[in-house]
Amino acid sequence: MNKVFKNADEAIADIFNGAILMLGGFGLCGIPENCISALVRKKVNGLTCISNNAGVDDFGIGLMLQQRQVKKMIASYVGENAEFERQLLSGELEVELIPQGTLATRCMASGYGMPAIFTPAGEGTEVADGKETRVFNGKTYLLEYAFDADYAIVKAWKGDTMGNLVFRGTARNFNPLMAMAGKITIAEVEELVPAGQLDPNNIHTPGIYVHRIFQGADYEKRIEQRTISK
């Protein structure tokens, strides 16, 4: 099976209107910049995006929001995006806010083949409205379902032609969990090497989870709020 694609446009070419996408990253760290740009060029719409956050107005998923490509956003933090706020308040965008740990664990459950999890996060709040609960050892837990994503789109530091991935620093956030969880996982990497060149002890995501891989280019690696000393 040849997993190597020429570029982002080829790797995401079959993503369809109305697809459910997982997009790795935390803030603007470790986001699949090339694939997001390709999705904007493709003009695919009606998307449900599962991500820790919605980027900023002019970068990350914010670019897709500007083009009205996102129908529903499932995230745990959205505070850096004014366009997201505008679409939410105007009723243009459906939003499901999820505690961050629950978001991560629902991704993990998908990758492990588990249909659901029980978690105490959100019990007694609006998050629990309409959800099944169970009591274990005197404590109430919510039933949360694993995600069912058509595609998982992730970004890694290095990868090989078999799809094995190595993440670097903080970019090892939601990316490994989401890479396990998509029906089709697309990985963009800063450096693509032949199979056998990566140290097996340093591989974070085994290639069995990855269906498509390509070497990205022109990464901005923006910082949302840069703080420096005077």
Fold of 8-115+146-215: Glutaconate Coenzyme A-transferase (3.40.1080)
Compute the average pLDDT of residues 33-47.
98
Tokens of 4: 């190597």
pLDDT tens track for 208-226: 999 999 999 999 888 877 8
Compute the average pLDDT of residues 21-26.
96
Q: Where are the alpha helices (DSSP H) in the chain?
A: 8-11, 33-42, 61-66, 82-90, 100-112, 175-179
In angstroms, rounded to a whole number, what is the distance separating the alpha carbons of residues 147 and 149?
A: 6
Residue of 36, 30, 74 whose CA lies nearest to 52: 74
Name, in order, each residue with C-beta under 8 angstroms of 177's C-beta and a sequence gap of 6 or more: 104, 107, 108, 111
Q: What is the DSSP string of 13-67?
A: TT--TT-EEEE--BTTBT--HHHHHHHHHHT--SEEEE-SB--BTTBTHHHHHHT
In angstroms, rounded to a whole number, what is the distance separating the alpha carbons of residues 49 and 142?
A: 23
Return the pLDDT at 13.
98
Query: Residue 8 above 90 pLDDT?
Result: yes
The percentage of the chain sitting over the pLDDT mark of 90, rounded to a whole number, equals 87
Residue of 86, 87, 84, 64 whose CA lies nearest to 75: 84
Residue of 41, 7, 3, 26 whose CA lies nearest to 216: 7
